[in-house]
């Protein structure tokens, strides 16, 4: 059961009493307060019914009855809030989930890193170039990327612009889903150009054929259309980093007697803001959403147990997802102790593997990249370790795009460091491109592509 902290103990702004890491320094505090007040008057982006539905899906995944695919950009950009870019992201999530459904024989819950993934943690507050020092770029919700004093100053109006774009994005996703774009009977709608010339095209078409045949078969023997039950919902998630933004749309729903963050269905606590006595943990403990915690190699078993006790005191199913991101070289050493520690708490959790953030490296010329083989190696190790300990890996968390970028190396086309310059578009972390993402989905589904 969800426990509501008492009003004296918690409210949406109680985090302000504590140290909040990774917050922008706004030169004009009053302008920020005005923007937050404007934001809190706008209607919510998601509803508590949807949030509760996702929590119930996560509870199923915790029991091993479903699998979660969470994916999208490292940082969404305002510039990419376009029809093409949103459709491409939706397509890749739908196609991957179809392949995973086929291979895992379980419902796949789709969660986009989208419709609000606009704020980024940075290792330093300031950045220097050629003797000039300016605030670091913290995502489109906060400031602008070009290295000029005007662009880098945190602008409170951007939280309003970000909220509007998040709403536009989710509105379009919902319309596409409601209009039949996500109907599993018509995966041909999602076909992208690449399928025509990819080395994995044959395997993908085989999966599609097989799923369409099974649906037709089931419908013909039951005499019922599976339309409604088979419709693919898509949920939204982002790192709950910018606490004024999160606070502004945190609402008390009298019907449920609970507080909900209605900017997104599934906010998560990033690795740099999971301090037990920090402001983020304080904020997150009071909301009823399902929440994620990023877990890296620096997380100790005691720390994780304390976080679980604070964030899920009632051991509520579906409430907590632990998104681990150790790196291929560390996962086997680090994960077992944490699985044991979690078990001792008695809290159910959804274990999700993020094979991206522990495997970031720089090429000789300083370009940030990730090697496909390491991503797959961490993922395979995650399945292995969970299985050997009688635990269930219930999801995967990926940075990916529906576009044909060149940001991660390797994969079926064997991209090399030299290919990165060709189409490197991310302003933050390198993402899997369309084919690399499909290849990861096929690996998860147990379908191996025969390299030629």
Residues that bind Co ion (CB under 5 A): 74, 429
Burial class of residue 219 in the structure, from the number of CB atoms within 10 Å of its CB (0-12 exposed, 13-18 middle, 19+ buried): middle
The footprint of ligand PEP on residues 233-252 (CB under 6 A) is 239
Q: Are 271 and 296 in contact (CB under 8 A)?
A: yes
Q: Which stretch binds ligand PEP (CB under 6 A): 82-90, 265-273, 330-338, 430-438?
A: 265-273
Q: Does 293 bind ligand PEP (CB under 6 A)?
A: no
34/40 Cα distance (integer angstroms): 10
What's the min distance (Å) between Cβ of 124 and ligand PEP?
14
Residue of 51, 66, 74, 100 interacting with ligand PEP (CB under 6 A): 74
Q: Does 110 bind ligand PEP (CB under 6 A)?
A: no
Q: Which is nearer to ligand PEP, 187 or 240 (CB)?
A: 240
Q: Does 431 bind ligand PEP (CB under 6 A)?
A: no
DSSP per-residue codes, 137-167:
P--TTT--SSSSHHHHS--THHHHHHHHHHH
Q: Does 270 bind ligand PEP (CB under 6 A)?
A: yes
Q: Which stretch binds ligand PEP (CB under 6 A): 51-59, 123-131, 137-145, 267-275?
A: 267-275
**Measured at CB, which residue is nearest to ligand PEP?**
270
Angle at 450 between CA 445 and CA 452, to 5 degrees: 150
User: If binding means CB under 6 A, how many residues of this protein chain bind ligand PEP?
Assistant: 10
What's the min distance (Å) between Cβ of 429 and Co ion?
4
The footprint of ligand PEP on residues 301-330 (CB under 6 A) is 325
Residue of 165, 242, 285, 357 interacting with ligand PEP (CB under 6 A): 357
Question: Is 124 strand, coil or helix?
Answer: coil
| Backbone φ and ψ of 386, nearest 5° | -60, -45
Residue 425 contact among Co ion, ligand PEP, none, beta carbon within 5 to 8 Å by kind: none
* Tokens of residue 212, six digits: 């369409």
Q: Which is nearer to ligand PEP, 91 or 325 (CB)?
A: 325
Q: CB under 8 Å to 329, separation ≥6 — which residues?
A: none
User: Helices 331-345 and 301-311: crossing angle, nearest 10°?
Assistant: 40
Residue of 271, 279, 442, 444 interacting with ligand PEP (CB under 6 A): 271
452/442 Cα distance (integer angstroms): 16
247/37 Cα distance (integer angstroms): 10
Angle at 138 between CA 132 and CA 144, to 5 degrees: 65
Q: Which is nearer to ligand PEP, 98 or 293 (CB)?
A: 293
Partners of 415 in beta bridges: 410
317/298 Cα distance (integer angstroms): 26
Q: Does 338 bind ligand PEP (CB under 6 A)?
A: no
Which has the closest alpha carbon to 153: 31, 16, 13?
A: 31
Q: Which is nearer to ligand PEP, 203 or 369 (CB)?
A: 369
265/287 Cα distance (integer angstroms): 11
What's the min distance (Å) between Cβ of 242 and ligand PEP?
13
Q: Does 121 bind ligand PEP (CB under 6 A)?
A: yes
95/111 Cα distance (integer angstroms): 13
Q: Which is nearer to ligand PEP, 396 or 412 (CB)?
A: 396
Q: Which is nearer to Co ion, 60 or 371 (CB)?
A: 371
Q: Which is nearer to ligand PEP, 357 or 370 (CB)?
A: 357
**Number of Cα atoms under 13 Å in the Cβ half of residue 412:** 22
Q: Does 265 bind ligand PEP (CB under 6 A)?
A: no
User: Does an H or E element contain 101, and which?
Assistant: helix 83-104
Residue 295 contact among Co ion, ligand PEP, none, beta carbon within 5 to 8 Å by kind: none
End-to-end CA distance of the chain: 53
Residue 431 contact among Co ion, ligand PEP, none, beta carbon within 5 to 8 Å by kind: none
Q: Which is nearer to ligand PEP, 4 or 426 (CB)?
A: 426
Residue 121 contact among Co ion, ligand PEP, none, beta carbon within 5 to 8 Å by kind: ligand PEP
* Tokens of residue 280, six digits: 């983020």
What's the min distance (Å) between Cβ of 139 and ligand PEP?
10
Return residues touching ligand PEP (CB under 6 A).
74, 121, 239, 270-272, 294, 325, 357, 429
């Amino acid at each position: 059961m969800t426990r509501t902290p008492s009003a004296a103990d918690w409210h949406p702004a109680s985090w302000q009493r504590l140290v909040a890491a990774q917050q922008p320094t706004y030169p004009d505090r009053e302008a920020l307060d005005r923007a937050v007040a404007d934001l809190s008057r706008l209607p919510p982006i998601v509803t508590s019914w949807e949030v509760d539905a996702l929590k119930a899906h996560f509870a199923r995944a915790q029991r091993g009855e479903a699998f979660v695919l969470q994916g999208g950009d490292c940082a969404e950009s305002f510039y990419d809030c376009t029809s093409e870019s949103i459709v491409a992201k939706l397509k890749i999530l739908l196609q991957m989930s179809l392949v995973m459904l086929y291979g895992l024989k379980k419902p796949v819950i789709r969660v986009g890193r989208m419709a609000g993934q606009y704020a980024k943690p940075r290792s330093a507050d300031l950045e220097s170039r050629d003797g000039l020092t300016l605030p670091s770029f913290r995502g489109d919700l906060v400031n602008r990327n070009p290295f000029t004093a005007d662009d880098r100053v945190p602008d409170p109006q951007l939280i309003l612009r970000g909220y509007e774009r998040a709403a536009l994005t989710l509105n379009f996703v919902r319309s596409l889903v409601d209009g039949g774009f996500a109907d599993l009977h018509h995966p041909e709608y999602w076909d992208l150009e690449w399928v025509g010339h990819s080395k994995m095209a044959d395997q993908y078409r085989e999966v599609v054929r097989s799923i369409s045949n099974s649906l037709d078969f089931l419908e013909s023997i039951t005499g019922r259309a599976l339309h409604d039950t088979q419709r693919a919902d898509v949920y939204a998630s982002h790192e709950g980093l910018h606490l004024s933004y999160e606070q502004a749309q945190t609402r008390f729903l009298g019907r449920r007697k609970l507080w909900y963050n209605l900017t997104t269905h599934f906010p998560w606590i990033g690795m740099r803001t999971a301090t037990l006595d920090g402001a983020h943990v304080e904020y997150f403990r009071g909301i009823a959403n399902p929440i994620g915690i990023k877990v890296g190699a620096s997380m100790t078993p005691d720390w994780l147990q304390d976080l679980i006790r604070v964030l899920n005191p009632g051991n509520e199913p579906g409430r907590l997802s632990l998104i681990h991101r150790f790196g291929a070289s560390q996962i086997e050493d680090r994960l077992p102790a944490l699985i044991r520690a979690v078990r001792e708490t008695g809290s159910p959790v959804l274990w999700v593997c993020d094979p991206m953030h522990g495997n970031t490296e720089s090429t000789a010329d300083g370009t940030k990249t990730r090697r496909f083989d390491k991503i797959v190696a961490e993922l395979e190790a995650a399945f292995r370790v969970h299985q050997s300990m009688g635990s269930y890996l219930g999801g995967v968390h990926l940075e990916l795009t529906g576009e044909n970028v060149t940001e991660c190396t390797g994969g079926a086309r064997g991209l090399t460091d030299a290919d990165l310059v060709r189409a490197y578009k991310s302003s933050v972390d390198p993402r899997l491109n369309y084919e690399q993402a499909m290849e990861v989905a096929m690996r998860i589904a147990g379908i191996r592509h025969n390299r030629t």
